[in-house]
Amino acid sequence: MTSLPIDLATAGVREVLAGLAAGDFTSVELTTAYIERIERISNGGPRLNSVRAVNPDALKDAAESDAARASGSPLGSLHGVPVLLKDNIDIAGMPTTGGALALEHSVPATDAPVAASLRRAGAILLGKTNLTELANYVTEGMPSGYSSLGGQVLNPYDASETPSGSSAGSGSAAATGLAAATVGTETFGSILSPALANSLVGVKPTVGLISRTGIIPISGTQDTSGPMTRYVYDAAAMLTAMAGIDQEDAATADNPLVGTDFRTDFVAALSDTALAGSRLGFLANDGDEVYTRSLALLQARGATLVPVTVAEPVAPLILSREMRRDMNAYLARIPNGPMKTLADIIAFNEAHADAALKFGQTLLIESQGFDLADPATASVYEKLRAGSIEESRGIIDTVLSENRLDAIVSNSGTIQVGAQGGYPSVIVPAGYLSAGRKPTGLLFTGTAWSEARLLALAFDFEQASKAWRTPEEINPSLFRSAVLPSIS
């Protein structure tokens, strides 16, 4: 087994970059160590099943990264850092399956723009994480982390608890240090919820900050990708690399944080004094003792806390109305792909029901029933979409403006309204409940394009709380079956 002078269970992007820069290890050695750790923890040992596939080119890419460093070539902000992407994001030459048997052999010709952006920053695309099948939009009642192709992801903090959300594999993999960072996607809680369940920092950015092209979709209105990491610094570094404007994704055209000659450096925006003088609206939650302590810490750091109520949107979800259109557009990009349309996936599942339909496909069938090429269907959809966005954004912006707030904090209470409005949220580990040591977190939600401010607030809280603990510390019994190397 490869021995490194850092502990991959706790090392983040900053530590990995420092070690590479100091020559303490090479990217090849680091990538090899992560692959061995995946084999021990994801595939063997406690069998978390969080990584679906390792990129066969990862070690070659790592060797090229080492050669560039040795030659003195200009280095990207994530040069040599291995990252894992959720298996609904295209990496050229690797199947993008969404966890679906129907897409097992669906191989894109090019990287998704977000994957290409990470490559340009120097990251090593280590492989793909398992997920809830098709981002948990196959049927009602499917367990989080289950896919017909990849099986069931486990939560490393408690295998009897849900890994939560569709980015379950990214959450489980990041928590156990199977890469320096991971990427998840969210339509409705699928970054924030698994980040909460797996004691991680998760960033659900403003829709349009990051390109969605080359990502298996549910909803062009609500879909986004985002980083899932153990530290706020790592999330900021990842978000800096991932953000970008894409001519194929109209939502990115309004992005004020990325331009031809300018890109927000989210790392530079971090501050351990960001809470001083801030005004934060907070949602009441009497059942979470960690949340109560977190609010007290925010005040101790200089924040003024204002009690607020944030209404749940009453506008209906539009996900089923968009999926057929957006899925068909994605599949049309795959050369010689096994599936051409959503209808093909449904038919494949029906023909292979024993393997593909343990829980059914009610949501796929419902989505297939909405044809936005029909003028009457499209007219109803446009009104519902406009109403959902207007209501959700209005709820958040009204609370922020009327109370002169920097952000709204809760332990999960703004996930829905933020998702429907396409607004950003950052969640950060806050500690562990006394009953069962269940992870809990602090969620910061803001208005559009406020990622830098949210990350700064989260960073200040993180630095003060020092709350995060490894799964091995919180749940040691699960890891007794994994043989882990000692640190030299």
Q: Are 206 and 162 in contact (CB under 8 A)?
A: no
Q: Are 407 and 454 in contact (CB under 8 A)?
A: yes
Sequence-distant (6+) residues with CB within 8 A of 167 are 86, 129, 131, 184, 185, 186, 190, 191, 194, 228
Q: Cα–Cα distance between 150 and 123 in angstroms, integer?
A: 25
Q: Please give the positions annotated as active site.
A: 86, 166, 190
Q: Cα–Cα distance between 340 and 37 in angstroms, integer?
A: 37
| Structure tokens that stand for 51 in this block | 């990584």
476 secondary structure, DSSP code: G
Which phi and psi angles does 429 have, rounded to 5°? -55, 135
CA 342 vs CA 90, 162, 375: distances in Å:
18, 28, 20
What is the per-residue DSSP string for 62-123? HHHHHHHHHHT----TTTT-EEEEETTB--TTS---TT-GGGTT---SS--HHHHHHHHTT-
Q: Cα–Cα distance between 448 and 317 in angstroms, integer?
A: 20
Angle CA(432)–CA(237)–CA(93) in degrees, nearest 5?
100
Strands 425-432 and 439-445, sheet pairing? antiparallel
Q: Are 423 and 447 in contact (CB under 8 A)?
A: yes
User: For every residue of 378-411, which 3-state class applies, written as one string?
Assistant: HHHHHHHHHHHHHHHHHHHHHHHHHCCCCEEEEC
The residue type of 85 is L
Whose tokens are 């924040």? That residue is: 303
Q: Cα–Cα distance between 320 and 313 in angstroms, integer?
A: 17
Q: Cα–Cα distance between 137 and 319 in angstroms, integer?
A: 9
